[in-house]
Amino acid sequence: MHKIFSDLIENAGTSFFSLANKKATNQNTFNKINKLNAKQITNIYQNIKVFNSYLATSKVDLIKTNETKNIKYKTYKTKSLYEPVANFSSIYNELVENHYLYYDLLRHKSVNTTDLAIIYIHGFSMRNYGREYKLFSKLINSNKDLSVYATQLPYHMNRSPLNQPYSGAYTFDSCPLCSIEAIRQAVHDISQLISIIKNKHKKIIVGGFSLGGYVTSLLATCDNRADLYIVGQADSDLPTCMNDTPVCPGLQKNKSIWTNNKENFQSLYEPLNLLKHKPAVKGSKVVSVAGKYDKLINYNTVLKLRKFFNSKYNIDYKAGHIGFLLEAKPVLSKLIDAIEHEVKN
């Protein structure tokens, strides 16, 4: 794709998401913690491991079933066993909708078990999985030995608190401590899901794009049980990405509250910087996917992520964040090649 055309798509797409996400979070919800400075936040995390694997299983409830011509859909719910830091616990306890992990299991109707499973992690402000389910169905129809687990990240979809202005808003425009804890919980919940399904499949792939890519990269610093980690549209520096993002107007609006016009914004989110952690997986397990013309993700810091993991599979496409949809077919072909080489052997 030509860069000029890519930029047109990128600008139109970011304008659309900015409009869809224009309503800001009411800061009264977080007034106990939204003025913590960088030093205070650093002190909260200095004696704990920010990201951890969760190796135990939990009780899972089937809450809904559905099917199409060839695909079975089952929606499951389980208690998120993540534990917030003490400073955040009272607010977290009030956000009861977010206390549960939801995921959909998609599988071909002709099978009850599969050797291969993919845990898919969606992006920021996702409202539903409609478009993605069409892709998942195509993948499953072409490979019946595949199960797809489509997760719901903290504060998204069924996990949206009552007064949240839109799906996922609290992830970014709540306050720094809530954002850090949202990502911590996301990593924990995916690790918890791995524990739930680990003995049901021979091979497990974890991956996502945009926010899902960031969560995957941070999961790869604490949980090495998956066979492949697909880090799509994510770089090594989530704090800077948040600072620059146009798709969450509430975050930009509230910067002055959180920084008091004195602090460096990124310093408030230091625990989310990938380079402050250490990889827990081999480079052969990591696939990085990035757009050369991406305006939301800095390609130079994508290169830092690739160096951090020494990733074996690095897939570039000539489009931006939004334009990926037009470049998805060749990217998917390369992803399948990586999967077949590393997972199916």
262 vs 129 pLDDT, higher one: 129
- pLDDT confidence of 7, banded at 50, 70, 90? confident
Q: How far apart are CA 221 and CA 309, in angstroms?
A: 9
Looking at the chain, the number of H-run helices and the number of E-run strands are 11, 9
pLDDT at 261: 62
* Tokens (6 digits) for 82: 């993540």
Split into its structural domains, the chain has a count of 1
Q: How far apart are CA 18 and CA 102, in angstroms?
A: 26
Residue 134 maps to which CATH number?
A: 3.40.50.1820
Task: List, for residues 104-123, the tens digit of each pLDDT value.
Answer: 999 999 999 999 999 999 99
Say whether pLDDT at 345 is over 70: no
Q: Which domain holds residue 181?
A: 3-342
72 vs 10 pLDDT, higher one: 72
Task: List, for residues 243-289, the tens digit of each pLDDT value.
Answer: 999 999 999 888 888 887 678 999 999 999 999 999 999 999 999 99
Task: List, for residues 168-219, the tens digit of each pLDDT value.
Answer: 999 999 999 999 999 999 999 999 999 999 999 999 999 999 999 999 999 9
Q: How far apart are CA 88 and CA 32, in angstroms?
A: 9
Share of the chain above pLDDT 90, in %: 84
Q: How far apart are CA 290 and CA 317, in angstroms?
A: 6
